[in-house]
Amino acid sequence: MPVLEIKNLHKTFDQNEILKGIDLTVDKGEVVSIIGPSGSGKSTLLRCATLLETMTKGSMKYSDTQVVTEGSDGFSVYLPPKELTHVKAMFGLVFQNFNLFPHYSVLKNIIDAPISVQKRNKDEVIAEARQLLAKMGLADRENFYPYQLSGGQQQRVSIARALINNPQILFFDEPTSALDPELTGEILKVIRELAAMRMTMVIVTHEIEFAKNVSDRVIFMADGVIVEQGSPQQVIQNPQQERTRTFLANLNKK
């Protein structure tokens, strides 16, 4: 059964159609990379999937929870807010700018939502958070505040925060774009380790080499549509569409 199933997603911002009918199905354990020029709607797609934006038309299903249905008029109908809170434990999102809470310690950044939102047992959550921090190589940093950490460390904390509810799927929106070049490696390494553990992931990235190595499937988006998708070999080595070729050629020039 797919972890995520988005059908016919349309997103309109005041008359402007930004997403023009996106179908995205992600299977358990699959790693999907999304590439494409800036402004093509990649972030908007992730934001619709993570309920930060409401989709205009289309439907969305997480495992066996139908989160959004298409009404008889074609417009999207969402589950009531109470049920959406539970849905939010099913996914995690890692932002480009980390968005850690500056007034919370590293540990509190990770444990507060599961305790105060998902009402999980505090001791259990703390134990899990410490395990995650150890995995991220931050075991000795739990009492630090975000400003005391490097960008790479902050991003690792935010990945731990996204993982604490054992989500079925993890989304990344350009997780290395805000980092100094020498720090991107440590984040890509963490993502690779998650991929090795068969974590289901959707990654928006400009790191084409990384996308090629880590993904089971690469999606190329432009102008609010999926132009082409397939294995990394197909899409990156041997693109079929002119737009994909142009995009990749421009990337290589830089």
Partner 1 sequence: MPITNMILQLATGLLTSVNIFFLTLLFTFPFGLLVALVRMSKNPFASNIARIYISIMRGTPLMLQLLIVYFGPYYVFGWSLRNYPPFVAVIIAFVLNYSAYFAEIYRGGIASIPIGQYEAATVLGYSKQQTFFKIILPQVIKRIVPPITNEIITLVKDTSLAQVISVMEMFTIAKQIANAQSSMVALVVAGVFYYVFNFVVAVVMEQIEKKLDYYR
Ligand X SMILES: Nc1ncnc2c1ncn2[C@@H]1O[C@H](COP(=O)(O)OP(=O)(O)O)[C@@H](O)[C@H]1O
Positions in the binding site for Mg ion (CB under 5 A) = 43
Q: Residue 193 CB: number of other CB atoms within 10 A?
A: 12
Q: Of 37-45, 65-73, 83-91, 164-172, which segment contacts ligand X by CB under 6 A?
A: 37-45
41: contact with ligand X by CB under 6 A: yes
Q: Indicate the residue among 26 and 113 with the shorter CB distance to partner 1.
A: 113
- How many C-alpha atoms does 3 have within 13 Å on its Cβ side? 21
Beta strands in the chain (DSSP E): 2-13, 16-27, 31-35, 57-62, 65-70, 76-78, 91-94, 169-173, 201-204, 217-222, 225-230
CB of residue 174 vs ligand X: minimum separation in angstroms?
A: 8
Q: Indicate the residue among 41 and 239 with the shorter CB distance to Mg ion.
A: 41
H or E element in which residue 120 lies: none
Query: Please, which residues bridge with residue 24 across strands?
Result: 6
Q: CA nearest 106: which of 63, 66, 86, 136?
A: 136
Which two three-digit tokens encode residue 30?
Answer: 């699959």
Residues between 67 and 86 that touch partner 1 (CB under 8 A):
85
95: contact with partner 1 by CB under 8 A: yes
Rule CB under 6 A: choose which of 33, 40, 158, 205 binds ligand X.
Answer: 40
CB of residue 37 vs Mg ion: minimum separation in angstroms?
A: 10
- Determine the straight-line distance between the first and last CA of the chain, rounded to whole angstroms: 40
Rule CB under 8 A: choose which of 71, 101, 166, 177 binds partner 1.
Answer: 101
Minimal CB distance residue for Mg ion: 43
Q: Indicate the residue among 22 and 163 with the shorter CB distance to ligand X.
A: 22
Return the residue matching tokens 């830089």: 254
Q: Which long-range contacts (CB under 8 A, 24 or more apart) does 216-219 make?
A: 216/30, 216/31, 216/32, 217/30, 217/31, 217/32, 217/33, 218/32, 218/33, 218/34, 218/35, 219/24, 219/32, 219/33, 219/34, 219/35, 219/36
Query: Mask: binding to partner 1, 122-161, rule CB under 8 A, as x and -?
Result: -----------------------xxx-------------x
Q: Of 41-49, 72-80, 192-200, 208-216, which segment contacts ligand X by CB under 6 A?
A: 41-49
103: contact with partner 1 by CB under 8 A: yes
Q: Of 24-32, 44-52, 126-134, 180-188, which segment contacts partner 1 by CB under 8 A?
A: 44-52
217: contact with partner 1 by CB under 8 A: no
Which two three-digit tokens encode residue 209?
Answer: 């080499």
39: contact with ligand X by CB under 6 A: yes
Tell me which residues touch ligand X (CB under 6 A). 13, 18, 36, 38-44
Tell me which residues touch partner 1 (CB under 8 A). 50-52, 85, 88-89, 92-93, 95, 97, 99-103, 112-113, 116-118, 145-147, 161
